[in-house]
């Protein structure tokens, strides 16, 4: 084979057909190939390294971190008010945490693209145990200042992790399996909540328990949160990952810090982000109201049970959505449209139900509902279903964002801005619920209204979805150009 000058540059033409929006691309290095010669790869690379660099292995490592970090945070939130006797201080801490996440995420794209996904994940994993330890200190010693401070500290580290995670989950999967990979990620987060729920139930199952969750519960959470760090250290650089379909991740050339900030400003004003911004703000907004709902209306052991059983239907729902989004007999645009309408209809049903239930509770306060009460099923089921429709909404949106990406770094930038808007929504939701004395009805209505407001721009965005991922098309064009140069060298 003729030698290839890896420094030589080729221009990649813009996409001008009706299937793609127009992207202006930098010149690409000819030496980097998209397709991997699997026979040569198996012959020259040890088995352990092939397993480690496999896209599924990397997704599993990322999912384990999600299990240890965000899932444990969700499990604490799933206790209702963080499991504390009153939800106000927990809501203040959580509001501060998401405000910090929003601030850091806004600039997170340039940061992560500079230090790399791996080290951003490592930095974030170091912050995970802070939240659990703060809840322990509050529950054990009544220490409220540390709980509030932990919201700010953990928010910074978690933001770095979130940006890196968002870029990774949208980049690692081969084009034909993105829905299933994203379902695996969502399930891992909910399996963490399942384990957290088991811990909660083992320590808080006695009837008639009042006040908050026992302090020992938080120790178990802290131990699990500490386990994220070693798995973050095992993450492989993107450029070394080989996907299950034999392709490599398309990486653009490294940019200077100034160029990165210019790109993030361009991302913020792009039609992709503008049209999806209300959906991003809405996507996690429900968590504040539902956390308050649990804390106000359910007994301690029901709050513990909620985090145990809520993930089960979520696993089924997210994998079902994943199969829809990966259907090979439909174009990417058609799958995007079906996915949007599926998620929207399910959420509309859940919120109509929840608003009806809350209106009834405002008329006749049920007190603390236990699972032996006749109201338990009808009161708990809306929460049970929103723990499925919410994650489905997030999984769908990351799948949609990845459908527009031209390279891995753009996935990081898009994910960073989207996560920033998500965090702003969560901060507002929890801040709003710090003022909630007895009823989350306003929170439910605002969430429902945000869903309605997001639909028209989302329909406009979905109808422009390219029929193939631009990053794949660019990489194939790069391979073709490389082969031509090799043939003429």
Number of H helices, E strands in the chain: 21, 2
Half-sphere exposure of 292 (CA within 13 A, CB side): 27
DSSP 8-state secondary structure symbol assigned to residue 116:
-
Whether the pLDDT of residue 83 is over 60: the answer is no
Indicate the burial class of 239 (C-beta count within 10 angstroms; 0-12, 13-18, 19 or more): exposed
What topology does CATH give the domain 43-237+271-467? Growth Hormone; Chain: A; (1.20.1250)
- What pLDDT is recorded for position 227? 93
* pLDDT 10s digits, 142-188: 778 888 888 889 889 988 898 888 888 888 888 778 888 888 888 78
* pLDDT 10s digits, 366-421: 778 788 788 888 888 888 888 889 889 988 998 998 888 877 778 888 888 888 89
pTM of the model: 0.76
Cα–Cα distance, 447 to 285 (Å, whole number): 6
- What pLDDT is recorded for position 276? 93
- What pLDDT is recorded for position 433? 65
Closest CA to 82 of 65, 95, 64: 95
Cα–Cα distance, 383 to 380 (Å, whole number): 5
Strand partners, 298: 369
* pLDDT 10s digits, 302-361: 776 776 777 778 888 888 999 999 988 888 899 999 999 999 999 999 899 888 888 888
Q: Contact 397/69 with Cβ under 8 angstroms?
A: no
Chain-centroid distance of CA 70 in Å reads 9
* pLDDT 10s digits, 407-464: 777 888 888 888 889 888 877 877 776 665 557 788 888 889 999 999 999 999 999 9
Domain boundaries, the chain: 43-237+271-467
Q: Contact 311/191 with Cβ under 8 angstroms?
A: yes
């Amino acid at each position: 084979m003729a030698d290839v000058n890896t420094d030589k540059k080729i221009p990649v033409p813009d996409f001008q057909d009706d299937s793609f929006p127009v992207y202006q691309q930098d010149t690409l290095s000819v030496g980097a190939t998209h397709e991997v010669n699997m026979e040569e790869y198996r012959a020259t690379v040890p088995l352990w390294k092939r397993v480690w660099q496999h896209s599924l292995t990397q997704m599993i490592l990322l999912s384990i971190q999600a299990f240890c970090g965000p899932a444990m945070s969700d499990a604490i939130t799933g206790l209702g008010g963080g499991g504390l006797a009153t939800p106000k201080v927990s809501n203040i801490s959580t509001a501060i945490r998401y405000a910090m996440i929003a601030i850091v995420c806004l600039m997170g794209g340039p940061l992560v693209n500079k230090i790399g996904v791996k080290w951003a994940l490592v930095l974030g994993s170091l912050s995970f145990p802070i939240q659990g330890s703060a809840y322990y200190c509050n529950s054990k010693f009544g220490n409220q200042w540390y709980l509030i401070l932990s919201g700010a500290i953990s928010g910074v580290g978690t933001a770095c992790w979130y940006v890196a995670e968002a870029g990774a989950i949208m980049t690692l999967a081969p084009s034909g399996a993105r829905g299933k990979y994203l379902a695996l990620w969502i399930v891992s987060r909910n399996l963490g909540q399942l384990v957290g729920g088991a811990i909660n139930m083992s320590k808080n199952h006695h009837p008639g328990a009042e006040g908050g969750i026992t302090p020992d519960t938080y120790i178990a959470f802290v131990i699990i949160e500490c386990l994220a760090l070693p798995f973050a250290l095992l993450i492989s650089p993107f450029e070394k990952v080989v996907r299950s379909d034999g392709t490599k991740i398309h990486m653009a050339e490294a940019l200077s810090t100034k160029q990165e900030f210019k790109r993030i400003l361009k991302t913020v004003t792009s039609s992709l982000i503008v049209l999806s911004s209300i959906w991003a703000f809405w996507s996690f907004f429900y968590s504040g109201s539902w956390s308050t709902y649990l804390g106000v209306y359910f007994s301690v052991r029901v709050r513990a049970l909620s985090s145990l059983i809520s993930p089960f239907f979520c696993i089924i729902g997210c994998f079902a959505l994943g199969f829809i989004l990966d259907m090979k007999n439909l174009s990417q645009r058609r799958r995007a449209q079906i996915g949007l309408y599926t998620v929207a209809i399910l959420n509309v049903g859940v919120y109509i139900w929840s608003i009806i239930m809350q209106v009834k509770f405002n008329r006749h306060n049920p007190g603390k509902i236990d699972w032996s009460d006749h109201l338990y099923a009808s009161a708990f089921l809306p929460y049970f279903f929103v723990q499925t429709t919410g994650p489905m909404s997030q999984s769908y949106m990351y799948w949609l964002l990845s459908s527009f990406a031209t390279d891995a770094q753009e996935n990081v930038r898009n994910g960073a801005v989207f996560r920033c808007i998500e965090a702003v929504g969560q901060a507002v939701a929890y801040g709003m619920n710090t003022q909630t004395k007895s009823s989350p009805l306003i929170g439910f209505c605002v969430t429902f209204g945000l869903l309605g407001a997001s639909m028209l721009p989302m329909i406009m965005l979905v109808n422009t979805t390219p029929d193939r991922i631009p990053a794949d098309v660019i990489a194939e064009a790069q391979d073709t150009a490389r082969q031509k140069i090799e043939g003429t060298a």
